[in-house]
Amino acid sequence: MKIGLPRETKDNENRVAMTPRGVAQLCASGSSVVVQEGAGVGSGFADAEYAAAGARIGDVEEAWDVDLVVKVKEPLESEYPFLAGQSVFTYFHLAGCPPHLTRTLLESGTTAIAYETLEDAAGRLPLLAPMSAIAGNMASLVGAYYLARAHGGKGVQLGQVLGIRHGRVLIIGDGVVGFHAARTAYGLGAHVTVAGLDADKAARMRAEIGPDLGFFLSEPRAIAEELRRADLLVGAVLQHGARADYVVSRDMVAGMEPGSVLVDVSIDQGGCIETSRPTRHSDPVYVSEGVIHYCVTNMPGAYPRTSTLALTEATFPYLAKLAERGLDALRGDPGFSKALNVHRGHITCRPVAEALGMLEKYQDWNPL
């Protein structure tokens, strides 16, 4: 199979979807790989390393003129002309994207294989988990940064001062993002409370994070009450493949103190806070209802070396299967087949079709 590795074009996106080591393994198995010049530089991988691994270094057109394109983020409008019926393996987040991308995929006959909807045998999301962990860690750190008065915040530090905890953090969501955000904020020294859906997780999280971690079952009245005294809100809600639900209303945000901060990690899937809108690393924040909003859609791109190593460790086994067998790799593997979002002019992931109001384009793809 001919595989292409283009350079990412999203704002300040320096991750890359394959390392030289991965390229060497694919080439040794009989695939050919075209790497766009400079694709790995932002993650610390030079063109010479890819060439030594067996890749051919080419331009952007060559990296897209292949059977299978491997990326980190969804194609942007500048890349739409390159969509020409090939398969693309990347994070798509179609349910949270403007429908123009999905329409372009449908019209071009492109096959969209999405990292974020692929499941393992236990129903977990193994390709989303590593980036969720990094984004969760980052949410508490970036929140602490913008709470500083010099950065527009209310001047509350998340940290222990002579053994006393300062700053209050509310995290909505008890999954991978929520766990990592809670652990980081607790480690900084803040008071941390998690709003979750699984009461059994409270004891496990306290055992792994700390005995003073707060936990309550997520419901609107309790969230609103907790928000009135929160300095930092982290939105960490996930619906598999679907658009995230709003769990924080505009009125709830307005009830927070001026200069508070919120980080909506769910923004890739549309956001879980009513006042959220997508931002980018070069212009990451805005103020709404007196609260600083950080809603960057590619948060892990801020730490490309760590993110690339974690991401490719998770994606490569699936990439190797695609390189060897194409879409036949999805047949007989129900979890892998859930990664297929668009194929031959149809949407094959029902939550995506529902979120975009395009059920007339939905067609079940039975891999068995």
Residues of the chain whose pLDDT is less than 70? 241-242, 366-368
pLDDT computed for residue 243 by the predictor: 73
The pLDDT of residue 367: 54
Which tens digits make up the pLDDT trace of 27-70?
Answer: 999 999 999 999 999 999 999 999 999 999 999 999 999 999 99
115, amino acid identity:
Y
What pLDDT score was predicted for residue 366?
Answer: 67
Q: Cα–Cα distance between 108 and 120 in angstroms, integer?
A: 29
The confidence score (pLDDT) of residue 97 equals 84
The tokens for 310 are 């974690």
Angstrom distance (rounded) from CA 338 to CA 136: 24
The fraction of the chain above a pLDDT of 70, given in percent, is: 99
The pLDDT of residue 359 is 95
C-alpha 93/C-alpha 85 separation (Å) is 19
pLDDT digits (tens, 9 = 90+) for 294-349: 999 999 999 999 999 999 999 999 999 999 999 999 988 999 999 999 999 999 99
Active site residue 93: yes
> What is the structure's pLDDT at 368?
43
* Calpha distance 222→236 (Å, rounded): 17
Residue 192: its H or E element: strand 191-196
Q: Domain 132-302 belongs to what architecture? A: 3-Layer(aba) Sandwich (3.40)
What string of DSSP letters covers 77-97? GGGGGG-SS-EEEE---GGGS
Coil, strand or helix: which one is 58?
strand
**What is the rounded CA–CA span in Å between residue 322 and residue 319?**
5
- Long-range contacts at 358-364 (CB < 8 A, ≥ 24 apart): 358/99, 358/102, 361/106
Read off the pTM: 0.93
| Contact criterion met (CB below 8 Å) for 127 and 315 | yes
Query: Does 2-118+303-361 match 132-302 in CATH topology?
Result: yes
- The owner of tokens 């009830």 is 255
CATH class of 2-118+303-361: alpha beta
- In this structure, what DSSP letter does residue 279 have? B
Burial 248-262 (b: 16+ CB within 10 A, else e): beeebbebbeebbbb
Maximum pairwise Cα distance, the chain: 62
Q: Phi and psi of 88, rounded to 5°?
A: -130, 125
- The 8-class DSSP code of residue 114 comes to E
- Which sequence spans correspond to the domains of the chain? 2-118+303-361, 132-302
> Sheet of 68-70: strands edge to edge?
56-58, 32-36, 2-5, 68-70, 87-90, 111-114, 340-343, 346-347
Annotated catalytic residue: which of 174, 231, 264, 268?
A: 268
Measured between alpha carbons, how far is 264 from 165 in angstroms, rounded to an integer? 24
For 197-264, the DSSP string reads: S-TTHHHHHHHHT-TT-EEEE--HHHHHHHHTT-SEEEE----TTSPPPP-B-HHHHHTSPTT-EEEE
